[in-house]
Amino acid sequence: MIEIEHLTKTYGSFQALKDINMYIPQGTVFGFVGPNGAGKSTTMSILATLMLPTSGTARVDGFEVTENPKEVRKRIGYMPDFFGVYDQLKTTEYLHFYGASYNIPRGERDKLIPQLLELVNLSDKADTYVDSLSRGMKQRLCLARCLVHDPKVLILDEPASGLDPRARIEMREILKELKLMGKTIIISSHILPELAEMVDEIGVIEHGQMVAQGRVADIQNRLRVKKVLHIRSLDKEEELAARLRDEPYVSGVLADNTGIHVHFGGGDEDQGALLQRIVTWGYPVLSFHEAQTNLEDVFLEITKGGPAT
């Protein structure tokens, strides 16, 4: 549904995007992650036909963004990271305004708008002035605005930024519903663990370059060169932790009240041998397992936070 090939963008002499390639199949929820200034908004603005690339191509549903921007716009709903809402309008009027700009007839809008408000949990705010809505409500209204023309693709630039935990959960639930409706969604965020639960694939961008892309689990596996083993012993955990520090492939050991966390660079056989040794030493092992790495760990592992080149 989205195909980006050799995309570059320069601002003056600054190269913000360097040969970006990205393929997002229909119905995929794609998490676009990267540190501040990495190039996420630039990529999304190009996809949304709001900015011209310097070179390369970007297609949405087969239509190239520079050759066929009108066809692209029919198919996308774009939520920018900063957006304005018109103060003098009520929520329903606001959505009528956007619906009318997509030439949706009044009768259809009258049916559609209550459904959209229900989807974004704003039914009880239908007659409220938009400037009196909370930030979370405004974000949800903006999402409803992106949906008025029933686009196949949603391009959401940090839809959960600045929201409190409850509002973020609400936003996440709405996005899950949109996924069920079959939308292809590209969503950028800094809130990585939250993305992990709902995205099918991630692309990690740093200094204008894609540094990793694929299914979340595959990327986690690829990066699991150093795993974390979580060990619990019925007693003498501190003593065991001290002993583990001198074991092969162990690069760090942390003991706290949840158990022993061992950074381990060995393979499966080495891991088995380590467990065997612990048992031979006579420690009453309660559990010994590989801790799940989350998307936050993956992100930190890939983006080392070096200076821009």
Give the footprint of ligand ATP on this chain (CB under 6 A).
11, 14, 16, 34, 36-42, 81
Q: Which is nearer to ligand ATP, 6 or 176 (CB)?
A: 6
CA distance 212 to 198: 18
Q: Which is nearer to ligand ATP, 49 or 91 (CB)?
A: 49
CB 142 to ligand ATP: min, Å: 16
Q: Would you state the structure tokens that stand for residue 41, as one six-digit string?
A: 């908004």
Q: Which is nearer to ligand ATP, 38 or 116 (CB)?
A: 38
Output the DSSP codes for 111-144. HHHHHHHHHTT-GGGTTSBGGGS-HHHHHHHHHH
DSSP state for residue 267 in the 8-state scheme: -
Distance of CA 108 to the CA centre of its chain: 33
Radius of gyration from C-alpha coordinates of the chain:
24
Q: Which is nearer to ligand ATP, 34 or 99 (CB)?
A: 34
CB 43 to ligand ATP: min, Å: 7
CB 28 to ligand ATP: min, Å: 20
CA distance 274 to 271: 5
DSSP state for residue 309 in the 8-state scheme: -
Could you tell me if 88 and 94 are in contact, meaning their C-beta atoms sit under 8 angstroms apart? Answer: no
DSSP state for residue 248 in the 8-state scheme: T
Q: Would you state the structure tokens that stand for residue 17, as one six-digit string?
A: 């995007």
Q: Which is nearer to ligand ATP, 148 or 210 (CB)?
A: 210
